[in-house]
Amino acid sequence: MFLYFIDLFGTAVFAVSGVILASKLRMDPFGVIVLGSVTAVGGGTIRDIILDARPIFWINDTTYLWVILCTCVLAMLLVRHPKRIPWWVLPVCDAIGLSVFVGIGVDKALAYQDSAFIAIMMGVMTGCGGGVLRDVLAREIPLVLRHEIYATACIVGGIFHTTALSLGYNDQIAFISGAVCTLIIRLCAIRWHLSLPVFAMNK
């Protein structure tokens, strides 16, 4: 039950990131809700479609949709006063949601197939897919394709998760180890502005 509430918390945080981008692009309320929804559940939806997991998680549990709708409405009211919110709150909450999403993606993938490699891919997809869809709809270069350490944290966390399972640790310990690893890497990247080298051709 605790994990379920953290999952809903992550869904809300991801929805807020969609609302903030929509506000910068001056979208109408419908556009705000669409972008918030895509960001919140896009990654998990792609994962379930690839794994042929029926029904898709937010169809099976409409609580996710209500959380997104309420979050988008509240965020539209609060985003008018962004200076009241410290700059680090959203990135840190995003990191928490991201770490949980990756673990959920890995676990769900392993419930449908046995490949650790595919499970890691599905974990990354769950954590980053919504953000990619959000940025594509907003006609921006997706965050995970730029130099900021984001998807890399998901990959390392997924590796820790699947490695712990292969070593015989139970599901809970494996999940926590992967989630904590993802969270620590992401928080360090936020705190010290860590990034990967940029690939560019010399002129």
Domains of the chain, residue spans: 2-192
- For 2, the token pair is 């605790």
Cα gap 102→42, rounded to integer Å: 13
3-class DSSP state for residue 19? helix
Mean local confidence (pLDDT), 64-68: 97
Dihedral sign, CA of 110, 112, 114, 120?
negative
148, β-bridge pairs: 195
Residue 199 CB: number of other CB atoms within 10 A? Answer: 6
User: Looking at per-residue confidence, does 6 or 121 come out higher?
Assistant: 121
Prediction pTM value = 0.92
The larger pLDDT score, comparing residue 88 to residue 166, is at: 166
Render pLDDT for 73-122 as a digit per residue (tens, 0 to 9): 999 888 766 566 677 878 888 898 899 999 999 999 999 999 999 999 99
Binning pLDDT at 50, 70 and 90, where does residue 201 land?
A: low
Percent of the chain with pLDDT over 90: 67
Whether pLDDT at 164 is above 80? yes
Mean pLDDT of the chain: 90
Tens of pLDDT, residues 23-62: 888 899 999 999 999 999 999 999 999 999 999 999 999 9
Does residue 167 register a pLDDT over 70?
Answer: yes
- Band the pLDDT of 11: cuts 50, 70, 90: very high
pLDDT value at 196 more than 90: no
| pLDDT recorded at residue 141 | 84
The pLDDT value recorded for residue 23 is 86
Rounded to whole angstroms, the Cα distance separating 118 from 149 reads 21
Cβ contact 37:56 at 8 Å? no
